[in-house]
Amino acid sequence: MLVLAWDTATPRLSLALTEFAANNVSRVLAQVEGGEGASHGQTLAPLVQNVLAKEGIEPRDIGLLAVGRGPGSFTGLRVGLALAKGLALASGCPVLGLPSLEVLVAGEKAEGLVAPVIDARRREIFTVIYRVEGQKITPLTEILALGPARFWPLLDEVRPLGESLTVFGPGRDLLGDFPNGVTLGSDQGPQAAILAALAYEALTHGAATSCPVVPLYGRSPEIFSSWRKPARLEV
């Protein structure tokens, strides 16, 4: 099965085309990372088209589409999800959405308490505190959007006394100095090849219904927080 996956939650776009065999052997046919400084709305669709053309693959040949749900850039998420839905409709293949923070956790391969972090702007980060035990990933919090002044006290409430924690992801440097007991992990963003593997596993294990193609914004988009009802609409 061919799985085409991308994540647009961060400024660094990630796209991968992976082939999965029946014996769970996988082969990454194409992988693209980058796009900083360019709009995902301008680059994603041509990039998908170029990757498929280079590999001689038609959209109807794709067996599964996978897309990162965020949290992250509101505009980036909408671009990624919209293209995934449109391509799925045109090709007839299923499409699954997975949380970008869980993709980060799977790529880091850290054990115990972990905190993947993505830049949320406003000097804040998006995160979820997870406990990782082998293949089992358990969220201990909901999606949080907060700054360093609230992040570190939160950890003291969530983790048992003396237990270490690993912090990683493209928002890690926004947290400033790391206290004792905290390990600094990678600063890479969600990897599309990891996303493809997670989506393929979900599909083959009957967990597709738990992977909706809807955004995880983490907080209300700014347009809603700043919008005020016009006076002419006041009752």
How do the pLDDT tens digits run along the chain, 235 residues long?
A: 999 999 999 999 999 999 999 777 899 999 999 877 678 988 999 999 999 999 999 999 999 999 999 999 999 999 999 999 999 999 999 999 999 999 999 999 899 999 999 999 888 999 999 999 988 999 999 999 999 889 988 888 887 777 889 999 999 999 988 888 889 999 999 999 999 999 999 999 999 999 999 999 988 655 444 445 555 544 4
Do 131 and 74 fall into the same domain?
A: no
Residue 233 lies in a domain: no
Do 177 and 196 fall into the same domain?
A: no
Do 79 and 91 fall into the same domain?
A: yes
Do 6 and 118 fall into the same domain?
A: no
Integer CA distances (angstroms), 197 to 24, 37, 98, 103, 128, in order: 10, 28, 11, 10, 21
Residue 36 neighbours by CB distance under 10 Å: 9
Tally of domains within the chain: 2
Do 54 and 128 fall into the same domain?
A: no
The rounded distance, in Å, linking the Cα atoms of 84 and 164 is 38
Residue 129 lies in a domain: yes
Structure-token match 């955004």, residue found: 215
The rounded distance, in Å, linking the Cα atoms of 227 and 92 is 38
The rounded distance, in Å, linking the Cα atoms of 13 and 43 is 9
Residue 22 lies in a domain: yes
Residue 229 lies in a domain: no
Tokens representing 107 are 């790529």
Q: What is the CATH number of the domain that holds 136?
A: 3.30.420.40
Do 15 and 114 fall into the same domain?
A: no
Residue 140 lies in a domain: yes
> What local confidence, expressed as pLDDT, does residue 225 receive?
46
Do 132 and 75 fall into the same domain?
A: no
Tokens representing 10 are 């961060």
Do 10 and 112 fall into the same domain?
A: no
Residue 171 lies in a domain: yes
Tokens representing 39 are 């709009």
Give me the residues paired with residue 64 across strands: 3
CB distance 70 to 216 below 8 Å? yes
> What local confidence, expressed as pLDDT, does residue 223 receive?
42
Residue 159 lies in a domain: yes
> What local confidence, expressed as pLDDT, does residue 227 receive?
42
The DSSP 8-state label assigned to residue 95 in this structure reads: E
Do 82 and 126 fall into the same domain?
A: no
The set of residues, in sequence order, having a beta carbon less than 8 Å from that of 56 and lying 6+ positions away, is none
Q: Is 12 helix (H, G, I), strand (E, B) or coil?
A: coil
Do 109 and 174 fall into the same domain?
A: yes
The rounded distance, in Å, linking the Cα atoms of 206 and 29 is 25
Domain that holds residue 51: 2-99+189-223
Instruction: Assign residue 41 a region (left: φ > 0; alpha: ψ between -120 and 50; beta: otherwise).
Output: alpha
Do 126 and 169 fall into the same domain?
A: yes
